[in-house]
Amino acid sequence: MNEILQREAAITLVKDTFSRFLCDYLHLTRVSSPLIVLDGTGLNDDLNGIERPVAFPIKSLDEQRAVVVHSLAKWKRVRLKELGVETGRGILTDMRALRPDEDYSPIHSIYVDQWDWEKHISADDRNLQYLKNTVNNIYEALKETEQVIHQHYANLTPVLPEQIHFIHSEELLQRYPEMTAKERENAIAKEYGAVFIMGIGGKLSNGEAHDGRAADYDDWSTRNEDGYAGFNGDIILWHPVLQSAFEVSSMGIRVDKLAMEVQLKEKNCEDKKTLSFHRMLLEGALPESIGGGIGQSRLCMFMLRKSHIGEVQVSVWSDAIREKMKAEGITLL
């Protein structure tokens, strides 16, 4: 078997193993999901609110426009309702997306593949401990996957620490006040090996958000039991080859009616209240939930110790990038 086929087999092993562990730990059932949704419904993920979706008219629907999803952050919550998923259980789907405004880098491609998951929770589960318990379950799935990969490929030695470290983005700012957000991520990830940075989206004491988040899925504004804002965050690992912080998941407890009202106002997008998704939420028609996305290619990069995302997914790259990778002995798929 040539090197590319061996790598493809390893990629399949990572994806199959992790998704199985994830379903077990979070009590998820696999479901089908869309590549496109109709424009104007509010179902597409707005990411930071400035990225352009791939859009096109549909002849058979009188030229009504559809958009390729950025992610399924909001679609999943509607699907929980449609499927009547009971409290304590959830859904998992293989999400495929196009993000043409993404800047190329060793960890960024315009093609995005991730596990999108969503779990029905009770109103009483909207607390910091439930968020942390969920993160710990995901982290256990990551550690077990790393062990399985090591059993099949002895040279891929496990590096994940026993526990993931939790820190709020405001605490991180106070700890490294002279650093940029990305520099702070590097510093904390290098120190602990695995970290969950909480409260991403709302403004910190320096007047800036740690990173951007849309107003209508993660709850980044509600005060938690520690007095900080936000019931969301990112799972970040220390990548031993890249020698840098490496985000593999963005997730959180989703907005309730009050949180979405506050966040839409803060982001100056209250006009979205007329969209179907937002009306459903404001009318109390959607279940409380927690959810997130876990990058499939990102996880393969980490588990297989690859330095470029093009080594684990097929995407579109410039000739200059391909030549540069070739010169460095890196073969892109």
State pTM to two decimals: 0.92
pLDDT at residue number 157: 95
**284-288 contact pairs (CB < 8 A, 24+):** 284/257, 285/81, 286/77, 286/78, 286/80, 286/81, 287/77, 287/80, 287/81, 287/85, 287/87, 287/120, 287/121, 288/120, 288/121, 288/122, 288/123, 288/125, 288/126, 288/254, 288/256
pLDDT at residue number 318: 83
pLDDT tens for the chain, 333 residues long, are: 688 899 999 999 999 999 999 999 999 999 998 888 888 777 666 665 567 888 888 888 888 888 888 778 889 999 999 999 999 999 999 999 888 877 788 888 888 899 999 999 999 999 999 999 999 999 999 999 999 999 999 999 999 999 999 999 999 999 999 999 999 999 999 999 999 999 999 999 999 999 988 889 899 999 988 889 999 999 999 999 999 999 999 999 999 999 999 999 998 989 889 888 899 999 999 999 999 999 999 999 999 999 989 889 888 888 888 888 888 888 888
Of 302, 30, 327, which is closest to residue 145 (Cα–Cα)? 302
Of 207, 209, 227, 226, which is closest to residue 218 (Cα–Cα)? 209
Asked if residue 221 is part of any domain, the answer here is: no
Tell me whether residue 24 is one of the annotated catalytic residues: no
pLDDT at residue number 182: 95
Pull the structure tokens for residue 75.
């679609």
pLDDT at residue number 3: 84
Q: Which of 19, 71, 109, 114 is catalytic?
A: 114
- Assign 3-state DSSP to the chain and report helix, strand, coil percentages, each to 5: 40, 25, 40
Asked if residue 219 is part of any domain, the answer here is: no
pLDDT at residue number 57: 87
Q: How many CB atoms lie within 10 A of CB 2?
A: 7
Asked if residue 203 is part of any domain, the answer here is: no
Residues 169, 77, 101, 311: what is their CA dihedral angle, to the nearest 10 degrees?
Answer: 80
Split into its structural domains, the chain has a count of: 1
Tell me whether residue 99 is one of the annotated catalytic residues: yes
- Cα(230)–Cα(11) distance, integer angstroms: 34
Asked if residue 185 is part of any domain, the answer here is: no
Asked if residue 245 is part of any domain, the answer here is: no
Q: What is the DSSP letter of 104?
A: P
Asked if residue 64 is part of any domain, the answer here is: yes
- Cα(70)–Cα(80) distance, integer angstroms: 19
Q: Which of 250, 289, 297, 313 is catalytic?
A: 250
Which CATH number covers residue 48?
3.30.930.10
Tell me whether residue 140 is one of the annotated catalytic residues: no
pLDDT at residue number 99: 83
Q: Which of 99, 184, 254, 298 is catalytic?
A: 99
Tell me whether residue 250 is one of the annotated catalytic residues: yes
pLDDT at residue number 106: 81
Asked if residue 21 is part of any domain, the answer here is: yes
Q: Which of 7, 19, 45, 79 is catalytic?
A: 45
Tell me whether residue 114 is one of the annotated catalytic residues: yes
Of 34, 35, 39, 33, which is closest to residue 52 (Cα–Cα)? 39
Q: Which of 39, 247, 261, 266 is catalytic?
A: 247
Asked if residue 39 is part of any domain, the answer here is: yes
- Cα(77)–Cα(217) distance, integer angstroms: 9
Tell me whether residue 52 is one of the annotated catalytic residues: no
Q: Which domain holds residue 105?
A: 3-158+251-327
